[in-house]
C-alpha cells in the first residue's frame, strides 16, 4: 500500500487503524529504516564479496605446526609456476621472518598463496592489494590475487608477534613478461638471479 492511500485516510480513525495495522507511525518509520539498513548492508556485503574482491580468509586445511617446517610443502617454501599465468606459493611465517622473503612474478600472474605459521600467530598484508590474512599455527590460510601492475609490493606481518615483529617483511616483485623470462632463463640458483637483476639496471 502506498503512502498516498494512507494520506487520504487521515481523519478516519477506523480506516487509519486498518491500514496501519495499529502500528504507531514512529514505529513504522523505524521499521522502514531497519529494513533499509538491512538491504544496504546486504548490498554492501554482496558488492564487497563479488565486485570488490574481498575474501574472507578461511581455514583451507590443518597442519601440525610442530612438523610443518620440516615435512610437506612448507619444508621447502617458495613459488611454483603452474603455467598459463597461474602460480602458487607456499609461505611459512615464523619468528621473525617469512619464507620466502621475495616472490617474483610476471605481470598478470594469478597466484594462490598458502600460508601457515610454525610457532605463533602472525599476519600477512601485501601493500596495495586486498591480500590481508591472519596466519595461525596449525591452520593453512589461502588467499588469491592477480598482480596486474609491474612494481614492488612489500608484505608485512600485521599481527604483533614479539620483539622482531617489525623485521618481519618481504617483497612481491612484479616484473614484465620479458624480465621474468630472462630471470627464469638465468637458472634457478640465487647467485645467477641476482647477477641477472644487476644486469637489468
Ligand atoms: Cu609476525 Cu608480527
Instruction: Tell me the CA–centroid distance for residue 167 and ligand 1, in Å.
Output: 8
Question: What is the rounded CA–CA span in Å between residue 114 and residue 28?
Answer: 49
Quick one: which atom of ligand 1 is closest to the CA of 135?
A: 1
Quick one: which atom of ligand 1 is closest to the CA of 96?
A: 1
Q: What is the pLDDT of residue 57?
A: 64
Q: Which three cell numbers stand for residue 83?
A: 603455467
Quick one: which atom of ligand 1 is closest to the CA of 158?
A: 2
Instruction: Tell me the CA–centroid distance for residue 166 and ligand 1, in Å.
Output: 7
Question: What is the rounded CA–CA span in Å between residue 106 and residue 26?
Answer: 59
Report DSSP state, residue 49: I
**Between 190-200 and 177-185, two packed helices, what is the crossing angle to 10 degrees?**
140
Exposure on the CB side of residue 164, measured as CA atoms within 13 A: 10
Which residue in 130, 66, 74 sits closest to 98, CA to CA? 74
Q: Are 57 and 143 in contact (CB under 8 A)?
A: yes
First to last CA, the chain: 71
Pocket of ligand 1 (CB under 6 A): 96, 122, 157, 159-161, 165, 168
Instruction: Tell me the CA–centroid distance for residue 68 and ligand 1, in Å.
Output: 18
Q: What is the pLDDT of residue 191?
A: 40
> Which residues, given as ranges, of the chain have pLDDT below 70?
1-11, 16-20, 53-58, 187-201
Which residue in 123, 111, 178 sits closest to 148, CA to CA? 111
Instruction: Tell me the CA–centroid distance for residue 159 and ligand 1, in Å.
Output: 5
**Residue 62, class by beta-carbon neighbours within 10 Å (0-12 exposed, 13-18 middle, 19+ buried)?**
exposed
Q: What is the pLDDT of residue 56?
A: 67
SS3 94: strand
Q: Are 127 and 153 in contact (CB under 8 A)?
A: yes
* Nearest CA owner, ligand 1 atom 1: 122
Amino acid at each position: 500500500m502506498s503512502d498516498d492511500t494512507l494520506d487520504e485516510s487521515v481523519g478516519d480513525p477506523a480506516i487509519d487503524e486498518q491500514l496501519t495495522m495499529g502500528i504507531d507511525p514512529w514505529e513504522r518509520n523505524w521499521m522502514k529504516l531497519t529494513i533499509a539498513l538491512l538491504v544496504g548492508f546486504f548490498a554492501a556485503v554482496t558488492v564487497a564479496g563479488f565486485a570488490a574482491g574481498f575474501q574472507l580468509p578461511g581455514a583451507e586445511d590443518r597442519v601440525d605446526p610442530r612438523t610443518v617446517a620440516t615435512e610437506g610443502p612448507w619444508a621447502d617454501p617458495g613459488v611454483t609456476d603452474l603455467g598459463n599465468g597461474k602460480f602458487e606459493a607456499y609461505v611459512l611465517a615464523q619468528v621473525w621472518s617469512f619464507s620466502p622473503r621475495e616472490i617474483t612474478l610476471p605481470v598478470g600472474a594469478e597466484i594462490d598463496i598458502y600460508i601457515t605459521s610454525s610457532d605463533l600467530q602472525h599476519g600477512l598484508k601485501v601493500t596495495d592489494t586486498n591480500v590481508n590474512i591472519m596466519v595461525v599455527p596449525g591452520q593453512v590460510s589461502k588467499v588469491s590475487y592477480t598482480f596486474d601492475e609491474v612494481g614492488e609490493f612489500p608484505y608485512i606481518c600485521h599481527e604483533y608477534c614479539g620483539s622482531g615483529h617489525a623485521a618481519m617483511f618481504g617483497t612481491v616483485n612484479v616484473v614484465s613478461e620479458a624480465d621474468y623470462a630472462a630471470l627464469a632463463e638465468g637458472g634457478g640458483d640465487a647467485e645467477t638471479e641476482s647477477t641477472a637483476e644487476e644486469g637489468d639496471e
